[in-house]
Every structure is written in structure tokens, then in C-alpha cells.
Amino acid sequence: MKINLCRTAALKSGWKKILKGMSFLMILIVPVAITAQPIDPVDLGSTSGFAILAASQISNIPTSAITGDVGLSPAAGSYITGFGLNEVTGIMYTVDATGPAGSVPSASMLATARGDLTIAYNDAAERTPVPTGDFLNPGSGNLGDQILAPGLYKFTGMAEITAGNLTFDAQNDSNAVFIMMVTSELNTASGTQVILINGAKAENIFWQVGASAVLGSYSIFKGTIMADQAISLMTAATIEGRLLARIAAVTLDASTVVLPGSPSGIQYNQGTPNGFELLQNYPNPFNPTTTINFSLKSEGIAELNVYNYTGELVSSLVNGKMDAGYHSVDFDATNLSAGVYYYTLKANDMIMTNKMVFVK
């Protein structure tokens, strides 16, 4: 039997070409990981300094801790209810003089802020192109256990976090922007968390919600919520962000709201303070350390203790004689479980308590 070497060589050459082409095709069909969509942040205008801005009512069940300004318009100031004297680190703006003690009437400024909120809301709602693929209805609307890259996400119905936590991954870009366009409602279950990794920042996360938003008890959330209707925080819910309700109410229940990207909100002064004061810890939420500032008008025996949510003492930070003035104490929760804690200052027959949230 004769073997045609030329033909054999030709066949080998042909198969090499076929295999090379197949390799090229195989390379083309390899799945590609989700990559960031470069988008611009939402311009919040004059609403950027507000931790809370609502239209019809702002109600609170003490004790909450708000770092940032609070505003209500067009409803009268009397529709801001339930706040104690030390629950807001910022200015409370109203349209008239019927607001809580210490509030500042500023109808014109609030009207401008409401207008800027509408502009920002519409900007987020009308972003194009409409997301497709991994940026359309991720998790079929349930964001539990999802890890999202920067970009524009659209939910054709509701968005929720009901099992597991949601993670925003900035992919080592500290300027990365996330915009979540939610057609109807936004809901989170009790105890769920929004986690930021690889440079992600709460100030660069925007939630445009077509209806109302509800954050579950003891949940931890990140980003600015711009809701067309109401925003409700259940017991001890925490948000690093803003609660901006266009035409309805904001409801709080022993909640923590911290304006993103802001300084601590604590004015640490020199000299002799005017009174006894326990300020909101910063940062809050924290992991694993935070700073607690307080002031004493006169010398005396002071106690600063930390308790868990059941009232059990977990740390004694101060216990003894202290001078009049401003004081700062660091708290390290490394050996504690994540959750809500309360810190209480006692001095000279005075007592004050604030809430803080430890996350891991």
C-alpha cells in the first residue's frame, strides 16, 4: 500500500487550520465577567446637605440619631414629631414657626430643595440606555447575596433584600457610581446589610424608587434613597445615606441616619462647654472602632458605659473623676458580635443615652 505523503501533509495542514479556527471560536464564546459601566453621579443640588427631606410628615419614635440636616415642605413644621433635643446633629428646617424647639423657618430654601430633589429624581429615572443583561433585574429583583459592579441597574418591578446581604464592589475605583432604578417598591428584611468593598462609597450610591421604601428592623443600608412616595425605617434600622421623599412622609423608629461623605457631625471645641452633652459616635455604623465625644460643664464623677440591646453591660469606658471640658473616648468592639449597642453617660445627676451600630 502506497501512502501519499503530499496528501497526508495537506490533510494535516487542513486540520491545523480547522483546529486553529475552532480555537478562535472557542475564545469568542468564553463568558465575560460583569464589568463596570462608567456613569456620572446624580447631581443632588441643594438637597445634598439633608439627611432627611420629606413633603408631608417626619415622625420619630425615640431615640434616633440623625447626622445631617432635616427638612419638611410643604407641610407645616408641626408635622415634625417625636424628636428629642439631642437626636439631630444638624439643622431642622421648616416652612413656618410651628416646628419643634430649635427648628429654623426657611420656606424659600426648602422650596428650592424640593425642586432640586425632583430634578435629581427625574435624572436618575430617565437615565439611558436602559440596562440589559446582568444590569436588568439582577437576582430577579431580590438582591440578597448579590455582588454588583458599578453601573446603572434597572428593576422593572420591586427590588428587595430578603435573604443574605447585598455587596457593592467598586473594583478599586473610589469614584465608581451605582444607580439603582426601581420601578415600584424597595424593601429590605430585618437584619440584612448593604456592604461596600474595594473602594465603594455610600455617597456614590443612588436609589431611585418609583413608589415607597421600607428598611427592616436592625437592617443596615447604604446610599441615597429618592422615593416618589414614603420612606419608613423600622426599629433600629441604620442608613449611611439620605432619606428623600418627594411627596409623602419619612417615618423613623429608634433609627440612625448618617449623611454620607460628611465629617463626623461632631463639633469638638475648646474651652468650657455650656452644658452636659453626649454626642453621636463617629463613625456610625463602625467596624471595629469608633469615637465617643462628650462634654461636662463642671468637674465630677462620670461613668460612660456600653450596653447591648438586651441591656447587658459589655464595656465600661469611663468610671471616675473627670474635669470640666470636652472629652473623647475610643471604643473597640473587636470581641463583640455585630449589632446595635447603646452607650450611656452619667455625671452630676445627669444621664444621656445614644445608639450605635457595629457591623462586620
Of all residues in the chain, what percent carry a pLDDT higher than 90?
61
Cα–Cα distance measured from residue 237 to residue 254, given in angstroms and rounded to the nearest whole number: 8
Q: What is the pLDDT of residue 325?
A: 85
Closest CA to 342 of 280, 300, 298, 283: 280
Average pLDDT score over residue span 95-111: 95
- 14 pLDDT exceeds 70? no
Most confident range, picked from 24-28, 259-263, 311-315, 356-360: 311-315
For each of the domains in the chain, give its residue range(s) and CATH number, in order of start: 45-258 (no CATH), 277-358 (2.60.40.1930)
Length of the chain: 360
Cα–Cα distance measured from residue 42 to residue 336, given in angstroms and rounded to the nearest whole number: 37
Q: What is the pLDDT of residue 293?
A: 87
Average pLDDT score over residue span 145-158: 95
Ranges 215-224, 291-300, 301-310: which has the least confidence: 291-300
Q: Check residue 82 and report its DSSP letter.
A: S
Higher local confidence (pLDDT), 24 or 296: 296
- 21 pLDDT exceeds 70? no
CA 220 to chain centre: 7
pTM: 0.70
Of all residues in the chain, what percent carry a pLDDT higher than 70?
85
Query: pLDDT tens, 239-279?
Result: 999 999 999 999 999 999 988 865 443 464 445 566 788 88
Query: pLDDT tens, 220-239?
Result: 999 999 999 999 999 989 99
- Binned at pLDDT 50, 70 and 90, residue 84 comes out as confident
Average pLDDT score over residue span 123-151: 90
Q: What is the pLDDT of residue 2?
A: 39
Higher local confidence (pLDDT), 246 or 294: 246
Average pLDDT score over residue span 97-114: 95
Average pLDDT in the chain? 86
Q: What is the pLDDT of residue 280?
A: 82
Query: pLDDT tens, 58-70?
Result: 999 998 989 889 9
150 grid coordinates: 458599578
Average pLDDT score over residue span 43-70: 94
At 70 the three-state DSSP class reads strand
Q: What is the pLDDT of residue 30?
A: 35
- 81 pLDDT exceeds 80? yes
Contacts of 12 (CB under 8 A, 6+ apart): none
Cα–Cα distance measured from residue 320 to residue 304, given in angstroms and rounded to the nearest whole number: 10
